[in-house]
Amino acid sequence: MAPKFLLQPKPTFKADVTIPRAGEEDGKLTFTFRHKPIKELAALETMEGKTAVDFLHEITEGWALTDEFSRDNLEILLDNYPGAMKAIVSTYYRELTGNREKN
């Protein structure tokens, strides 16, 4: 039986993000994302004077790392793994729109 469809989605969802790592195989990190309605996302995308970390902090709620999920640690992640921003945002939108990769 198919899962029950709800007009209001759950406020959060989890997804594995594949993050490129120099000289190593890509790493997988599970993020807990905040489900944002499309109108709210559009407003976030045009946040004047805001940074990439500000955007990520709005759409993410946690991760499966032993390191605490915080704004500072998000900055460290992006600083150490330049491909992480694109990977996180791409995964978020892919999950929201249902364009998941098939095996």
Measured at the alpha carbon of residue 91, what is the angle toward residues 90 and 96, in degrees to the nearest 5? 100
Long-range contacts of 65-71 (CB under 8 A, 24+ apart): 65/29
How does pLDDT run across 26-37, given as a tens digit for each residue?
A: 999 999 999 998
For residue 44, the model assigns a pLDDT of 76
**Which residues pair with residue 18 across a beta bridge?**
28
> What kind and span of H or E run contains 14?
strand 12-19
* Cα distance between residue 80 and residue 88, in whole Å: 14
For residue 103, the model assigns a pLDDT of 46
How does pLDDT run across 73-99, given as a tens digit for each residue?
A: 999 999 999 999 999 999 999 998 886
Query: Which of 103 and 70 is assigned the larger pLDDT?
Result: 70
Mean pLDDT of all residues belonging to the chain: 89
The arithmetic mean of pLDDT across residues 16-21, rounded, is 96
Percentage of residues of the chain with pLDDT beyond 90: 62
